[in-house]
Structure 1
Amino acid sequence: MIIESYVLGRWMTGKGEGQPLYHAVTGEYIGSASTEGLNMGEVLDFARQKGNKALRKMTFQQRGLMLKALALHLQQHLPELYSLSYKTGATKADSWVDIEGGIGNLFSYASLRRKLPDLPYWPEGEAHLLGKAKTFMGHHLLLPKEGAAIHINAYNFPVWGMLEKIAVNFMAGVPAIVKPATVGCYLTQAVVKHMVNSGILPEGALQLLCGSTGNLLNEVNAQDTITFTGSAHTGLQLKSNPTILQNNVSFTMEADSLNAIVLAEDVEPGMPEWDLFIKEVRREMTLKCGQRCTGVRRILVPENKIDLVQNDLSKALSQTVIGNPLNEKVRMGSLAGKTQKAEVLKQVSLLLKTSELVYGNLETVEVVDANAQAGAFISPLLLRNNQPLHTSEVHNIEAFGPVSTLMPYRNLEEAITITKLGKGSLVSTIVTASRNTAREYVLEAGTYHGRILILNQQCGKENTGHGSPLPMLVHGGPGRAGGGEEMGGLRGIHHYMQRVALQGSPDMLTAVLQQYQPNATGIPATIHPFKKHFEELEIGYQLITKSITMTSELIDAFANLSGDHFYAHLRNTDFEGTMFTQQVAHGYLLLSLSAGLFVDSYEKNPVLLNYGIDELRFTKPVYPGMSFHVRFTCKEKISQDKKEPTDIARGIVKWLVEMIDDENDELIGIATILTMVKKLEQ
C-alpha cells in the first residue's frame, strides 16, 4: 500500500515501490511512501494561485476563526490519532505532547486575532510625521507574501511539527506545503485528511507530500518561505540549493542541538531544586524516547557533586518502565524505527571514544508486553565525560535518542564556557535557588541559546519543562541550532509577510491602510458617533466637541475625589525648580473631562461599554484658565465573534481622542479608546 499525498486538491499516489514503513513497536509492515511522478512545479503553482489568493483575501479575524474551527474539529478525532501514534513508538504522554500540543498551537494562534486588525493586511506600529506642515507622513505595512510556506519536518513529532508551523503561516495568509519525515507520515496524513474533510480550509491552502520532496526546492521563488527541522547537516545541504541562494528565498532552520542543563553550585542534596533537577533530566531523557530536538544532551554539575548526581540519576532511570506504549505501566516506548536505532547506537559508539557508559546497556533492554528484537527499543544511556573542556565529541555529536552525558565543572564561569562549546543550542536550563546565579548565567550564556529556563522551587510545579517550546515564545537558536525562530506569537507571523514602508499624505495613507491616520481629513459627524451601529460607522467619521475651560476648582475637586494630591496639583505649591509655573491639571482629569465632551449622555445607544485604552499620552501642561476641545475620530473597527448563540452581535471600535488647546491648536493629550458597539444584524 502506497501512502497517498494530498496535492492539487486531491489525494494522489506516487509511482514506484517507495520507502517502506514499519510499526515501531512490533516491526509489522505498514505501507510505503512515494511522491515519484508528482509534478512539484504544479504543486507550488497550485498553492500560489489557489491557496494564496484565497487566504490573502481573508482578514486576520477570519483566519483566526478558521484556526479555531480546525482545532475544535481535530479534537473530535483524538482516539484515532492516538491509536496511530502508538505505531510510532509513542506512549500516551508522548502522543499528548505531539497531538494535543499541536492542536493547542492552533488555539493559541487563533487567539492572536484579538491583537490584530480586521483586515487582510497589517498596518504595523506607529505613524511617523515626516513634515512640519503635517501633510507628509510614513507608516509600515505588512502584506502576506504571494508564495507558499514549505515545511520540511523531522520525524519525532508528526503532528505537532506540522500544526505549530501551519498555524503561523495560515494566520499570516499564506498556504502551506507540508513534507513530514517519511517514517511517520501516515500519522500526519491522518490529521490532514480530517482537516481536508472538514471543509474549513480554502482550496489550495494545505498540501501534503508523503515521501521525497523531489525537485520541489528547485521550483521556489522569492515569495516562498522554507522552514526545515532536522539535522544541521541535512539543513545545510538544503539551504545551499542554488535556486534558494539565487532567489534569496527565506529559509529558516531549526536544527538538532546539544542542549545543556546546569545544576548550579548553590543547589545541595535535599533541596527542592535538587529533586527538580533529577526529575527534569529523567523526563528529558525518556519522553518521546529522547527523540526531541530540545532534549537534554549535556548535563553539567559541580565537580564535587557529580558522583551523587550520577547515583540519583541512575536510580531514577532504573524506575522507567520500557515497552509497548499501549500498556499503562509503560513510561518509555521505542524509537521511531530500527533505522533510527542503528543511527543512535552509531553515534553513541563515537561518544564512547572519550566518555564512559555509567548507566544502561547497548545490547539489551528489558521491555514489557513487547518483543525487544522486533521493535526499535533501546535502553536509556547515561554517559560520563570527565574532561569536557578537553574533548570535542561530546560537544559535536548528538545521539538522537535517550542519551545524555554527565560532565563536571569547577565554577559558573567554566560551566558557561562548556555550554558554549556546543556552538549554539535551542534551549538551556539553569537549576538554581540563587537570583544572582540566574542573572549571571542568562546574561553570559544567553547569546548561545534560543531559550533559557530558570528552574527553581517557585516555578517547579507549573513550569512546562526544559524541552517544551511554547507558541507565544520563539523556538529556535543561534549557530548549530539553525539561526532561526519559529512561533513567537506575533513575531512568527512577520516571517510570512513582506514589510513595506509607505510614504504619503495622511489622507492617502488612511485610504490605503483603512485605519485613520493623524492629521487626515475627517468625515464630519452629522449625528453623534455613539448613535451609530458598528456597520454604520466609517473610518474617519469625526466629531469636533465643544470646549471646556480648566479651573482651580475642578483640579481641587478631582484631587479630593481621586486622592491624587501630587504637589503639582496643589494651589499653594512653590513651583520654583519644578517643570511647572503654577497649579497643573491631572492628566486623568483631562481624559475624564474629554469623555464628558465626546460621550453621548442620557439616551440608550448602540455603545455597549467602554473596552479600555490602548495608548494615552499627556503632551502639554494644562493650567487654570486654559480651554480645550476634543477631536474624536473613528480610527479602526474589529468585528467580534459570538462566544454563545445568544450573545449580542458586536464589534470593537477604536477611537482617536485628540485633546486640543483652543488658543494655539496644539495637542495637550492624545489617546486611543475602545468601545464595544452593537451590530445591526443579530
Structure 2
Amino acid sequence: MKPSTFRMFYATRSALKPHRDCNVNSVLAALDLETHSSSIQHGVYNGKWGGNGEMFNAVNPSTGQILSKVRMGSISDLKQTISLMNEAKTYWREIPAPKRGEIVRQMREALANKIEPLGKLVSLEMGKILAEGIGEVQEYIDIADYATGLSRMISGAVIPSERPGHFMKEMWNPIGNVGVISAFNFPVAVYGWNSAISLICGNTVVWKPAPTGVLSAIAVTKILQKVLEKNNLPGSICSLVSGGSDIGSEISQNKNINLVSFTGSTKIGREVGLAVQNRFGRSLLELGGNNAIIIDEDADLDLAIRSVLFAAVGTAGQRCTTARRLFVHKKVYDVVVQRLIKAYDQIKVGNPLEEGVLCGPLHTNNSVKNFLEGIEQVKQQGGTILRGGTRVAGLECGNFVEPTITSIAHDAPIVQNEIFAPILHTIKVTSLDQAIEWNNEVGQGLSSSLFTTDIKKIFKWTGPSGSDCGIVNVNIPTNGAEIGGAFGGEKETGGGREAGSDSWKQYMRRQSCTINYSGSLPLAQGIKFE
C-alpha cells in the first residue's frame, strides 16, 4: 500500500464534507473526455477512435447517476484492430529495447501529469476512495519506472557448450501481440502492470477493460495516444477495444493474440485458460484470492488490528488481495475481535470523494445482492454476525453496505468461496500449525499474512510447510503489494505472475541458440553420424 493511502486510512476521521474539484465535467474535461450530456465517448482505439458495438452507460456506483455514454466495440472492430497490430508489431519489435523504454518513460511522465483527475475518475467510476484512486494511478507510474529500467537489463544466459568451437546463449524475443482483459476493481493499474512490461519487451497490446471501468480505460488510452503520436508511432501499439464477453472470448480464441493476460474470477479464468490452451497460446491468469491473516498469540496487536482494518475494508473489500478470513489464536481472540469491532465502528461509509470517508460503495447492484445473500448464508451455516451485515441506512441511492465481521467455522461453505465484499470471517485457532492448515485448505492461493514476533514461526510460515500462497507476508496486510516483487498466486488463483522479479519472461519467447564457429561438426553427446 502506498504511504499516502496508509496515512489517510488510519488518520483521525475529519468531518464529512465534499472534496474540492469533484465536479464530474471538470474531471472529464481534464482527461480530454467528452463532457456534453448528449456526447458519446468512443470505446475503440487502434490509431483512430471509433466503435460499432452497443451503447453503454457508465454509472457512478455512489449515486446511480450516469457519468457518460460509451459506444463499445464489436467483433469486427477487434479483428480490424488485431490486423493493425500485426502490421505495427513488425516495426515495434525491431526498435531497440532501451528506445522502447524511452517511450514508456514518456508515458510515465504523461500519466504523472494527469494523476489527480485520473485518480478522481477511478473514484467516480469504480467507487474506491480518492487516496486509493490516486494510488492506483501511482502504481501504473511505478511500473512504468520499473519497465524503463528493465528495458536496459533484459538479458539471457551464456551457457557452456560441451562441443569445442561452439557458443551457446539464451535469447529473449518479443512474443508478438498481447491481449489484456482487466477487471473492474483496478481499472488502471492492472493494464499498467501488463502493458508497461509488454511494451519494453517489444509487443503490441490490445486492452479489453471491464465494461464498468471503460471511462478510465479511455482516459488512459488518450494519454498514451499522445505519446505515440508525438513519437510518430502507430496507435495500434496500444489498442483499446471495449465490450462485453464476446470481445473477451474472441481475444481468448484468436490465434493472432500470442498471450492473453486475464484478471477476474476463477470461473471465467478457467474458461479463458481453456480457450487459449486449446489453440496452444499462452495465458497469464490472475484469479480469485480468499486470503487469510493469522494473528498468533505473540503478535503485536496494535500493528495487527491496523493491518486487518485496511486489508478487510480497503476498496470496500473489492481487492483480489482483500483479507476474507482471520485466524486468531484463542488466547487473544476475544481482545482482537473487540478491538476490531471498535475500529470498524469508526469507519465512515459514503461518497468516496468526500473527506473522511474510508469505505466507498460496492461496484454494482449485483454486488450488493451477493453481499446480502452471503450474510444469509453465514447465518444458515451456523455463523454469527458480530458487526454489520446490512445496507447502509440513508444511502440507498448508492451501493453502500456495512463492513461486516462474522464468527463461523473454518470449513463452512461460505468461507471456502470468497464474496467480493467487505465480509471478514473470524475463526479461533489453537496453534500456528492449525492456522497454516486452514489457511491452505481453500481452493485459492493468492495472498496470506502472519502476525508474530517469533523468528522461528516466521521461517516456518515462509518455508515449504508454511503458506501455499504466491504472496506470503509477515506483519503486514495481505494487500498493498509492491511492484518490485512478482504478483500472483497458486492453485485456483491461476499461477500467473505480473509486475516485478522475472515476470517479464512471460511476455517473451525464450530461445536456446548454439553458434558453431569451429569449422568442424562435433555432435552433442558424442554421437558419430558419418
> Which bracket does the TM-score occupy, shorter chain normalised?
0.7 to 0.9
CA distance in 2, matches of 1:447, 1:324: 37
The higher radius of gyration belongs to: 1
Structure 2 partner of 1:239: 273
CA distance in 2, matches of 1:163, 1:406: 34
**Correspondent of 1:492 among 498, 503, 518:** 503
CA distance in 1, matches of 2:403, 2:380: 19
Counterpart contact for 2:207–2:241, Cα < 8 Å: yes
SS of the aligned residue for 1:138 comes to strand
Percent of aligned pairs with the same residue?
Answer: 21
Structure 1 partner of 2:387: 359
**Correspondent of 1:155 among 160, 169, 184:** 184
Deviation of 1:394 (Å): 0.5
Q: Which has the higher contact order (CA 8 A, sep 6+)?
A: 2
Structure 1 partner of 2:138: 100
CA distance in 1, matches of 2:518, 2:106: 38
CA distance in 2, matches of 1:218, 1:85: 27
How many correspondences in the alignment? 473
Deviation of 1:475 (Å): 0.8
CA distances 1:12-49 after superposition (whole Å, capped 9, x unpaired): 12333x34321111111123442236332222222122
SS of the aligned residue for 1:248 comes to coil
Q: Normalized against structure 1, the TM-score is what?
A: 0.66
CA distance 1:26–1:503, shift in 2 (3 Å): same
CA distances 1:268-315 after superposition (whole Å, capped 9, x unpaired): xxxxx2111100110112211111001101101012322211101001
Deviation of 1:167 (Å): 1.1
Structure 2 partner of 1:61: 98
Report which stretch shifted further, 251-260 or 328-337: 328-337
Structure 1 partner of 2:173: 143
Structure 1 partner of 2:28: none
Counterpart contact for 1:22–1:337, Cα < 8 Å: no
CA distance 1:137–1:446, shift in 2 (3 Å): farther
- Please tell me the residue identity of whatever aligns with 1:247: R
CA distance in 2, matches of 1:507, 1:192: 51
Deviation of 1:89 (Å): 1.7
Deviation of 1:209 (Å): 1.9
Structure 2 partner of 1:312: 339
Q: Counterparts in 2 of 1:258-277, with a 5 A limit?
A: 258-267=290-299, 273-277=300-304
- Please tell me the residue identity of whatever aligns with 1:345: L
CA distances 1:197-246 after superposition (whole Å, capped 9, x unpaired): 233573121111222243523652276100111110111122222xx233
**Correspondent of 2:414 among 393, 410, 428:** 393
Structure 2 partner of 1:373: 396
Deviation of 1:330 (Å): 1.4
Q: Does 1:126 align with 2:161?
A: no
Deviation of 1:322 (Å): 1.4
CA distance 1:421–1:439, shift in 2 (3 Å): same
Deviation of 1:447 (Å): 5.9
Structure 1 partner of 2:61: 24
Structure 2 partner of 1:225: 259
CA distance in 1, matches of 2:510, 2:339: 52
Q: Counterparts in 2 of 1:399-414, with a 5 A limit?
A: 399-414=419-434
- Please tell me the residue identity of whatever aligns with 2:380: K
Counterpart contact for 1:381–1:404, Cα < 8 Å: yes
SS of the aligned residue for 2:488 comes to strand
CA distance in 2, matches of 1:353, 1:126: 61
Structure 2 partner of 1:582: none
Q: Does 1:176 align with 2:205?
A: yes
Counterpart contact for 1:182–1:210, Cα < 8 Å: yes
Counterpart contact for 1:5–1:208, Cα < 8 Å: yes
CA distances 1:581-630 after superposition (whole Å, capped 9, x unpaired): xxxxxxxxxxxxxxxxxxxxxxxxxxxxxxxxxxxxxxxxxxxxxxxxxx
CA distance 1:348–1:161, shift in 2 (3 Å): farther
- Please tell me the residue identity of whatever aligns with 1:392: P
Deviation of 1:478 (Å): 0.8
Deviation of 1:335 (Å): 1.8
Task: Give the structure with the higher percent helix.
Answer: 2
Deviation of 1:496 (Å): 1.4
**Correspondent of 2:455 among 435, 440, 445:** 435
Deviation of 1:427 (Å): 0.9
CA distance in 2, matches of 1:406, 1:304: 14
**Correspondent of 2:515 among 496, 504, 507:** 504
Structure 1 partner of 2:438: 418
CA distance in 2, matches of 1:175, 1:507: 39
Counterpart contact for 1:222–1:248, Cα < 8 Å: no
Counterpart contact for 2:375–2:389, Cα < 8 Å: no
SS of the aligned residue for 1:375 comes to coil
Counterpart contact for 1:7–1:209, Cα < 8 Å: yes
Ranges in structure 1 where 5+ consecutive residues have no aligned partner: 117-121, 268-272, 366-370, 456-462, 509-682
Deviation of 1:350 (Å): 2.8
Deviation of 1:255 (Å): 0.6
- Please tell me the residue identity of whatever aligns with 2:505: H
Deviation of 1:160 (Å): 0.7
CA distance in 2, matches of 1:351, 1:485: 33
Counterpart contact for 1:180–1:210, Cα < 8 Å: yes
Ranges in structure 2 where 5+ consecutive residues have no aligned partner: 1-38, 520-530
